[in-house]
Amino acid sequence: MTTPTTPGFALHIPTADLDPDPLDPSQIVSGTPEVSGKVLSESPDGRQLRGIWQITPGVVTDVEADEMFVVLGGRATIEIEDGPTLEVGPGDCAVLREGDRTTWTIHETLRKAYAITLP
């Protein structure tokens, strides 16, 4: 197990300030979704990331990392190619596998806290 580079801390996620993180235009299927986020901690080898991510309504595609997240606010439908369709909202925990091809339909601005493991 790697040791995080960030000391312990507490943060109120629903009101935390986030930084703009523009989407690649090729990922946008419909609408004008805007993404913002903040990495809160990262392991020394860069493989373990923990943070906050937010997206406004619209439809986008993505190729996922190995991720677990908890939705703090908003609602979305996540369609996993050759897999299940996930309906997520406040309080829901979801796990995505590395390489999953997804289509996210964001119904209400979604904010999540995440933990990602990179290869």
Output the six-digit token pair for 80: 């996993």
Q: What is the pLDDT of residue 7?
A: 75
Q: How far apart are CA 12 and CA 19, in angstroms?
A: 16
The hierarchical CATH code for the domain 28-117 is 2.60.120.10
Q: CA nearest 117: which of 105, 99, 101, 102?
A: 99
The structure's pTM equals 0.90
Percent of the chain topping pLDDT 70:
95
Q: Mind listing the pLDDT tens digit for each residue in 86-104?
A: 999 999 999 999 999 999 9
Domain boundaries, the chain: 28-117
At residue 5, the pLDDT reads 58
Q: How far is CA 91 from CA 8, 31, 41, 68, 69, in A?
A: 23, 25, 22, 13, 10
